[in-house]
Amino acid sequence: MTAGLAEDRPHAPLIIDVAGTALTDADRRRLADPLVGGVIHFARNWQDRAQMTALNAEIKSIRPDLLICVDHEGGRVQRFRTDGFTHLPTMRALGELWMRDAMRATQAATAVGQVLAGELRACGVDFSFAPVLDLDYGGSSVIGTRSFHRDPRVVALLAKSVMHGMLQMGMRNCGKHFPGHGFVHADSHVEIPVDKRGLKAILADDAKPYDWLSGSLAAVMPAHVIYPKVDKRPAGFSAKWLKETLRQRIGFEGAVFSDDLSMEAGRYIDGELLSFADAALAALEAGCDMALLCNQSVGDGAPLDGLLQGFADARDSGRWAGNLDSEARRRALLPDTAALPWAALAGSAPYCSARRTLSRDRLAE
């Protein structure tokens, strides 16, 4: 890790949530903390477009460099669904269209990316954790229709089209869940999945989209899955997966987010349940640039305050020193073009064309 970070550009590795549709005093205090690099929204933060736009404007007034994120993929994982937001299709629907007409599927995938990113950015959201690169083996309850296809070639090509559409609207992307969550049946939100395949098999199949897209992906999120033939730790806490495989072997140079550390599989390392702060520190040490802790602001927010205090203590004691490269990767995810307001977006040719494409293929409401 890099010591002696510039005072005006500290490493801000923590992504946290806020409690509701407007900021509380506690939210404002936490977002002003220099350790916080971003905020992730959920459905509870949504009332309508005007409210979301105002909420995000206030967040940016506190810290213009904060990365405002959301899990907004399409299908069942779409946080904002009313007040004009397009109901985006599942990624499986794009894979099914591919089997009928590959070129129309890539066109539709680009349209999904354009609509997804354009609508979010019009409301002040910077970044979505999409697309999913997991393969569809047919048995995963948590991945399921979120996956494009079983074939990694189809996954990579459709994902690249979605990513292209997002980028056209000024939004970066995040491939997940490295090296692959689709093979295991267990849901890492409530238990710890174990994938007993070896490294060679995983690299030849599930991880192939990350290899093929390594020059196009802006960010990657590892899986809360243990692959015991590679490492006893879940991928998000494994230097073997993140530093040796993702960085060195595949050559990925973008940002790496941990998955949500509040998930059941998010804090178990070597059989021990860690505190949120220790889990976040372990994720960063393994090779993540940023650590997410979600859904902890509701109520008194004590888990978030404990996380911030634990990181401050680690910094002051020298246990954690921050990383300039990680901070540069975080800042690179911020949009570098102005977003179109909703009225201008709704009248823009690219957005209208994308909506027509989705309507033609009966992929959106």
State the pLDDT confidence band at 59, using cuts at 50, 70 and 90.
Answer: very high
Letter for the amino acid at 36? V
The span from the CA of 22 to the CA of 274, in Å, is 31
Asked if 259 is an active-site residue, the reply is yes
Q: What is the mean pLDDT of residues 82-86?
A: 97
- Number of other residues whose CB lies within 10 A of the CB of residue 142: 17
Nearest alpha carbon to residue 145 among 93, 222, 81:
93
**Average pLDDT, whole number, for the chain?**
93
The long-range contacts involving 89-92, CB below 8 angstroms and separated by at least 24 positions, are: 89/358, 89/363, 89/364, 90/145, 90/146, 91/131, 91/132, 91/145, 91/146, 91/147, 91/148, 91/158, 92/136, 92/144, 92/145, 92/146, 92/147, 92/148, 92/149
Three-class SS state of 234 = strand
Terminal-to-terminal C-alpha distance of the chain: 47
pLDDT at 43 over 80: yes
Nearest alpha carbon to residue 169 among 139, 217, 128:
128
Kindly report, residue by residue over 260-286, the tens digit of the pLDDT: 998 765 577 777 788 999 999 999 999
Q: Percent of the chain having pLDDT more than 90?
A: 86
What HEC string does 300-330 produce? Answer: CCHHHHHHHHHHHHHHHHCCCCCCHHHHHHH
State the pLDDT confidence band at 103, using cuts at 50, 70 and 90.
Answer: very high
Q: In terms of pTM, does the model score above 0.75?
A: yes
Q: pLDDT at position 184, please?
A: 85
Q: Percent of the chain having pLDDT more than 70?
A: 94
The catalytic position among 206, 231, 259, 361 is 259
Q: pLDDT at position 2, please?
A: 40
Q: pLDDT at position 273, please?
A: 82
Letter for the amino acid at 26? A
The span from the CA of 341 to the CA of 96, in Å, is 33
The catalytic position among 185, 187, 189, 305 is 189
Q: pLDDT at position 265, please?
A: 59
Half-sphere CA count of 97, side-chain side, radius 13 A: 21
Three-class SS state of 345 = helix
Q: pLDDT at position 189, please?
A: 53
- Number of other residues whose CB lies within 10 A of the CB of residue 149: 22
Q: What is the mean pLDDT of residues 110-114?
A: 98
Q: pLDDT at position 185, please?
A: 67
Range with the poorest average pLDDT among 4-8, 129-133, 197-201, 280-284 = 4-8
Kindly report, residue by residue over 170-223, the tens digit of the pLDDT: 999 999 999 999 898 655 555 688 999 999 999 999 999 999 999 999 999 999
**What tokens were used for 157?**
């090509």
Q: pLDDT at position 6, please?
A: 46
Asked if 27 is an active-site residue, the reply is no
pLDDT at 8 over 70: no
**What tokens were used for 45?**
């933060």
